[in-house]
Amino acid sequence: MNRSIRPSLEAQELSFGYSSGSSLLDNWSASFYPGTITALTGSSGRGKSTLLYLLGLMLTPSAGEILVEQQSVSYRSDAEKAWLRAHRFGFVFQDAALDITRSVMDNVTETALYRGEPRKASASRALDLLDRFEVDVHPSRKPSQVSGGQAQRIALCRALLFQPSIVLADEPTGNLDPASSKIVIGALREHADSGGTVLIVTHSPEIASGCDNEIVL
Ligand SMILES: Nc1ncnc2c1ncn2[C@@H]1O[C@H](COP(=O)(O)OP(=O)(O)OP(=O)(O)O)[C@@H](O)[C@H]1O
């Protein structure tokens, strides 16, 4: 890798443990570069999802720093973190985490709300993505009327709508059929190839071996 490229996401001497449990991270450091996919692997309960939540500014470390584009961000205000999540990050969770009360289209364009952009203007972009990821359902449908594989591809459209510089995916293919799995991983690969920084938590050796780097927790 060309190390003159600067990391878009860094963890520096990170420590964290839930108050009810033992320490999960102790002085943990890593750098994540544009154009790469990193697999986070390790046995169950080692803290992979927790690390993703820390890197995605949903949890605050007990010590250490998270840097986004060389700026220290982990101790910023909730409002600043929310701004960063909306403008720099895309998230994909194992269970898709769609809002069941809203339509497919509203779910995909949800980030527009947090970015202060009109949802309508994002609709054509959303339709393009739904088409690209072969989500063959009417955008007015509710998440309860789509399959698990379609739900995860809808969540992928939501994550990629504004081409965020960093995509964090927590076992994004954990519950998927092979065809949906291939689409999701292919999309994350393309996102990295176009300059994004992608992290995938996975238990799949096959997916990990297709990534550029692997970090075992
Ligand atoms: N909100 C929480 N409060 C307290 N403990 C938690 C919380 N979330 C997770 N844990 C605990 O922290 C540890 C790490 O959990 P985490 O989900 O990060 O692991 P993981 O490596 O992603 O596991 P898996 O591969 O099974 O998904 C586990 O022991 C878990 O029970």
**Dihedral over Cα of 213, 1, 57, 110: its sign:** negative
CATH homologous superfamily for the domain 34-57+77-216: P-loop containing nucleotide triphosphate hydrolases (3.40.50.300)
- CA–centroid distance, 111 to ligand 1, in Å, is 27
Residue type, position 169, single letter: A
Residue nearest to atom 26 of ligand 1 (CA): 44
Give the pTM: 0.92
ipTM over 0.90: yes
pLDDT in tens, 162-208: 999 999 999 988 878 888 889 889 999 999 999 999 999 999 999 99
Cα–ligand 1 centroid distance for 48 (angstroms): 8
Ligand 1 neighbours by CB, cut-off 6 Å: 18, 20-21, 24, 42, 44-50
Domain regions of the chain by residue span: 34-57+77-216
Residue nearest to atom 29 of ligand 1 (CA): 45
In contact, 162 and 135? CB cutoff 8 Å: no
